[in-house]
Amino acid sequence: MEPLLQRMTKEDAHLLFTNSQKVKFIKGATIYNEGDSADYLYFIHTGEIRLFKRTGPNKELTIFTRGEDDAFGEIGVFSGLKYSNTAETVTDSVLYRIDNQTLENILTDNGGIGLHFTRWVAESLEASKAKIRDYIAFGSEGAVASVFIRYSNMYGVVTTEGVRITEPIMIQDISKHIGISRETVSRIVNKWKERGIIDNDNKYFLLKKVDYFKQLLVCEQCGVENCVL
């Protein structure tokens, strides 16, 4: 999925930045908490952000992640008074934040920018709905497969051996995306390793048989563009 800022002209992006305030966060910092008043939309200059919901003591569900040139906080800013997720940095991050009212004024005056926002949110919605399908309809294996496919769409490099994922993936990250126990995810991944479907060098995975995943998830109908985490 194309990051929000890359969809617009430099001038439009500049307009948003000049109306924003620069804020820095170190790795692992919390930018806002679920339930906080939703005052800002955040643009990611550098870094990566994980949005998640807490579902119990020591239990989290990752809702999505966003990276450079993208934005987050739309859920609160456009649709409610409060953020419905917690936002946390995955890496050191430099963000620009624009307040609610300033943003609305810009969008009202500038339908072109607004249309980019609508498309961006609509694609996020698309991604979210496709996730529901994948996570629910094909059991635990389907859910894990879906996470791998989505990583491969985001960070995959095609090689002769298969698709190499350039971002490190931890088993427990996968587990947090799909709400399945770490142990079960571990067992599924190891079964696939034995069968030669995937391979890994510690946290770096190689999908040797992407078709196995696509078949499992009945991917024919589904475009790849919005199949992301």
Q: Which residues sit at the interface with a second copy, rule CB under 8 A?
A: 34-35, 53-56, 59, 61, 63-64, 74-75, 77-82, 84-85, 104, 107-115, 117-119, 121-126, 128-133, 135-138, 178-179, 218, 221-223, 225-226
How far apart CA 13 and CA 167 sit, in angstroms, is 27
Near DNA by CB under 7 A: residue from 183, 196, 211, 224: 183
Contact 48, 89 (CB under 8 A): yes
Sole binder of DNA in the list 19, 84, 102, 186 (CB under 7 A): 186
Residues 106-109: contacts with CB under 8 Å, at least 24 apart:
106/15, 106/16, 106/19
Residue 48 contact among a second copy, DNA, none, beta carbon within 5 to 8 Å by kind:
none
- Which of the residues 60 through 119 are near DNA (CB under 7 A)? none
Partner in contact with 121, chosen from a second copy, DNA, none, beta carbon below 5 to 8 Å by kind: a second copy
The single-letter code of the amino acid at 180 is: I
**Phi first, then psi: what are they for 31, rounded to 5°?**
-90, -45
Number of C-alpha atoms within 13 angstroms, CB side, residue 152?
22
Parallel/antiparallel/unpaired status of strands 71-72 and 59-66: unpaired
CB of 100 to a second copy, least distance (A): 12
Taking the CB of residue 187, how many other CB atoms lie within 10 A of it? 14
Answer for the pair 142, 217: CB distance below 8 angstroms, yes or no: yes
Binding mask 115-144 for DNA (x = CB under 7 A): ------------------------xxx---
Residues forming contacts to DNA in the complex (CB under 7 A) are: 139-141, 170-172, 179-184, 186-187, 189-190, 202-203
